[in-house]
């Protein structure tokens, strides 16, 4: 990695800081976040390195990797940081950035799961697990994923075949569209 004024893109880092309401500059690389992270073993950049890369304006390197999509949002890092760097929120901000850019991610399954989940809220107001799993499997091409669990869950009444819509669906649609509108006008990140 060559660090120069050309490769340090700090304006994006400032956006991450605004979205997450935290400062990456407070981090002194003690590594406590990575020590406690249950998902660090699955990540290419461990949590403390994600912050270091942000300090150096190297956000593209983070987004090209899979770390942000393997964060489970368990909040252990934010809890234990001695400098109050809210890393779990930084991860949220980075995922939003990646989501907006629709840039390369090695973890499209997680993005797809998030997308199906949010589409469900917009359409039905609530989450319907049966639909969530079915649509995810179809869209990810894993038709047989967790197939063995299905009949067991149905027998136990844990999967509902039918569901009703909220009566106040118009309100949820308004929330989604107002947010889109605000972003178009530049009133929200």
Residues near another protein (CB under 8 A) are: 19, 21, 38-39, 42, 70, 72-76, 78-79, 86, 88-89, 92-93, 95-96, 99, 109-114, 117-118, 120-121, 125-130, 132-133, 136, 145-146, 148-149, 152-153, 156-160, 166-168, 171-172, 174-176, 178-179, 182, 187-189
**Cα distances (angstroms) measured from residue 148 to each of 52, 141, 145, 157, 159:** 43, 17, 8, 15, 13
Instruction: Report which DSSP code applies to 102.
Output: T
Q: Which is nearer to another protein, 3 or 72 (CB)?
A: 72
Residue 79, token pair as written in the block: 């809890």
Q: Which is nearer to another protein, 7 or 168 (CB)?
A: 168
Cα separation of 103 and 9, whole Å? 16
Question: What's the closest the beta carbon of residue 16 comes to another protein, in angstroms?
Answer: 12
List Cβ neighbours of 34 (8 Å cut-off, separation of 6 or more).
Answer: 40, 46, 47, 48, 49, 77
Question: What's the closest the beta carbon of residue 34 comes to another protein, in angstroms?
Answer: 14
Question: What's the closest the beta carbon of residue 8 comes to another protein, in angstroms?
Answer: 25
Residue 186, token pair as written in the block: 């530049």
Cβ atoms of residues 57 and 21 within 8 Å: no
Q: Which is nearer to another protein, 60 or 80 (CB)?
A: 80
Q: Which is nearer to another protein, 28 or 99 (CB)?
A: 99
Cα 73 from chain centre? 8
What's the helix, strand, coil split of the chain in %, to 5? 60, 0, 40
Question: What's the closest the beta carbon of residue 91 comes to another protein, in angstroms?
Answer: 8
Q: Which is nearer to another protein, 10 or 42 (CB)?
A: 42
Question: What's the closest the beta carbon of residue 112 comes to another protein, in angstroms?
Answer: 7
Q: Which is nearer to another protein, 58 or 98 (CB)?
A: 98
């Amino acid at each position: 990695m060559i660090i120069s004024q050309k490769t340090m893109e700090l304006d994006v880092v400032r956006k991450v800081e605004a979205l997450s309401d935290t400062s990456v500059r407070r981090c002194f690389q003690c590594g406590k976040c990575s020590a406690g992270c249950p998902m660090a073993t699955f990540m290419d950049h461990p949590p403390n390195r994600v912050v270091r890369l942000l300090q150096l304006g190297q956000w593209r390197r983070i987004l090209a990797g899979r770390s942000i999509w393997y964060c489970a949002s368990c909040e252990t890092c934010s809890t234990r940081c001695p400098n109050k760097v809210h890393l779990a929120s930084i991860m949220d901000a980075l995922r939003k950035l990646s989501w907006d850019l629709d840039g390369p991610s090695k973890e499209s399954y997680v993005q797809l799961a998030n997308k199906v989940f949010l589409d469900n809220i917009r359409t039905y107001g609530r989450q319907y697990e049966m639909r969530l799993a079915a649509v995810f499997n179809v869209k990810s091409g894993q038709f047989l994923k967790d197939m063995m669990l299905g009949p067991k869950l149905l027998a136990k009444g844990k999967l509902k075949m039918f569901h009703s819509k909220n009566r106040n669906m118009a309100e949820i649609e308004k929330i989604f569209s107002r947010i889109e509108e605000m972003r178009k006008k530049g009133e929200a990140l």
